[in-house]
C-alpha cells in the first residue's frame, strides 16, 4: 500500500548500495523521492559503480516518482542549492531526510587489516567528511524546512561499528558520532515535532561489500570471528532498510522513538516486513545470529534457534566493546 503517498523524501548518496535500496523502498510506499549522488550517468566500466539515472530507472520500475539531483556532498554550496530546489519545487515540504551519503568505502578497503599509524591523517577525512560531516550539513537545511511545518523525520544511517571495533578507527569513531548526532539533534528538534533517529542495518550485501567479502576469501584474510562476512551469513539486501524506514515514517507518533537507535532487523520483525527474497534476517543481537556466528556449524540450522534479543549488558561484556565507564 502507498502509505507515503503525498510525502516528500530525500535520500543522500543513492546511486548504489543502501542508498538506492532505501530510495526504492520509499518509492514503493508512494513517496516522491529526491535522490543525490555524484554521477548522473554511469560512465565507468567498474561493475559496482552506480548512477542517478540507474536509481531513477529502478524506482520507476516499481511505479515510483524519483527526482535525481547531481550533488557533491563535500561541497556545502551544492547541498544548499539542493534544499533550495526542494523548497521551491515542493512548496517548502520535506517530510523525510535519510542521511546516507558516504565516500569512505574505498578507503576502508585500502586500509583493512593495517594499523591506523600506517596511514596519513587523510584517512579520517575519507571516512568522515562525506559521511558524518555531510550528515550534519544536510540536517541543518532539512531542519530549517521541517521545523517551520512542525513535522518531519531525519534518519541517519549508522552501524553496529559504533559499538564495537570494525574495519578501522576512523570508521568506528565516525559511526559512534553519527549516533550521537542523531540523539543530540533529537533534543533540539523535539519541541518542533521533528524526530531524529539513528538507523542500524545489519550486514548488508551491497555491491561494494559483496566484492570486499569475495576478496577476503581470495586472500584468506578472513579472521575466524569475522567468517560470517565472507560466508554471507544472515546478510540483508539494501531494500530491507528502505522498507523499514518507509514503515517507520508512516507511524503517527514518532516522538517515543526520537533520539534512539533503531535496528533494521528488529523493526522488520515488529512491522512484519520481509526482505526482497522473502526472508527476514535476524538482528545482530539475536541469539539466532550470535550463536551461529560463533559456531559456524549451526548456520544451517539457525531457524531452530529462538529469535531472542540478548541484553545490551551481556553484549557489552563480550561481543561489543563500546567505551566502558
Active site (catalytic) residues: 171
Q: How far is residue 138's CA from residue 109's CA, in Å, rounded to a whole number? A: 26
In Å, what is the CA distance from 69 to each residue of 47, 93, 130, 291, 315? 22, 17, 16, 44, 41
Cell of 114: 593495517
Q: Which strands make up the sheet holding 32-37, listed edge to edge? A: 65-70, 32-37, 8-11, 96-99, 152-157, 194-200, 261-263
Residue with cell 578507503: 107
Whether the CB-CB separation of 236 and 204 falls below 8 Å is answered with: yes
Contacts of 152 (CB under 8 A, 6+ apart): 94, 95, 96, 97, 142, 143, 145, 146, 193, 194, 195
CA distances from 312 to 122, 213, 288, 315 (A): 34, 28, 16, 5
* DSSP structural state of residue 296: G
> Other CB atoms closer than 10 Å to residue 134's CB: what's the count?
25
- The span from the CA of 259 to the CA of 155, in Å, is 10
**The three cell numbers locating residue 76:** 556545502
CA distance 206 to 147: 34
Amino acid at each position: 500500500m502507498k502509505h507515503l503517498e503525498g510525502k516528500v523524501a530525500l535520500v543522500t548518496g543513492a546511486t548504489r548500495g543502501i542508498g538506492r535500496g532505501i530510495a526504492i523502498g520509499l518509492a514503493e510506499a508512494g513517496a516522491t523521492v529526491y535522490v543525490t549522488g555524484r554521477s548522473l550517468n554511469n560512465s565507468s566500466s567498474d561493475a559496482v559503480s552506480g548512477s542517478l539515472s540507474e536509481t531513477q530507472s529502478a524506482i520507476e520500475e516499481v511505479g515510483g516518482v524519483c527526482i535525481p539531483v547531481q550533488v557533491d556532498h563535500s561541497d556545502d554550496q551544492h547541498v544548499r542549492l539542493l534544499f533550495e530546489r526542494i523548497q521551491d519545487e515542493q512548496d517548502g515540504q520535506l517530510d523525510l531526510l535519510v542521511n546516507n551519503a558516504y565516500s569512505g568505502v574505498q578507503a576502508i578497503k585500502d586500509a583493512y587489516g593495517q594499523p591506523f599509524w600506517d596511514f596519513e591523517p587523510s584517512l579520517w577525512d575519507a571516512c568522515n567528511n562525506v559521511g558524518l560531516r555531510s550528515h550534519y550539513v544536510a540536517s541543518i537545511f532539512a531542519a530549517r524546512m521541517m521545523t517551520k511545518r512542525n513535522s518531519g523525520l531525519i534518519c541517519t544511517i549508522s552501524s553496529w561499528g559504533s559499538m564495537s571495533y570494525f574495519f578501522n578507527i576512523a570508521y568506528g569513531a565516525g559511526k559512534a558520532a553519527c549516533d550521537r548526532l542523531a540523539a543530540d539533534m533529537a533534543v533540539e528538534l523535539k519541541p518542533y515535532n521533528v524526530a531524529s533517529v539513528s538507523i542500524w542495518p545489519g550486514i548488508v550485501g551491497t555491491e561494494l561489500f559483496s566484492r570486499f567479502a569475495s576478496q577476503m576469501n581470495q586472500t584468506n584474510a578472513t579472521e575466524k570471528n569475522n567468517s560470517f562476512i565472507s560466508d554471507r551469513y544472515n546478510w540483508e539486501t539494501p531494500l530491507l532498510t528502505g522498507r523499514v524506514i518507509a514503515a517507520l515514517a508512516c507511524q503517527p507518533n514518532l516522538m517515543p522513538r526520537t533520539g534512539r537507535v533503531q535496528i533494521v532487523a528488529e523493526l522488520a520483525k515488529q512491522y512484519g516486513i520481509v526482505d526482497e527474497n522473502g526472508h527476514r534476517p535476524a538482528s545482530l543481537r539475536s541469539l539466532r545470529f550470535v550463536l551461529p556466528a560463533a559456531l559456524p556449524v549451526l548456520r544451517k540450522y539457525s531457524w531452530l534457534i529462538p529469535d531472542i534479543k540478548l541484553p545490551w549488558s551481556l553484549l557489552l561484556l563480550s561481543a561489543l566493546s563500546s567505551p566502558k565507564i
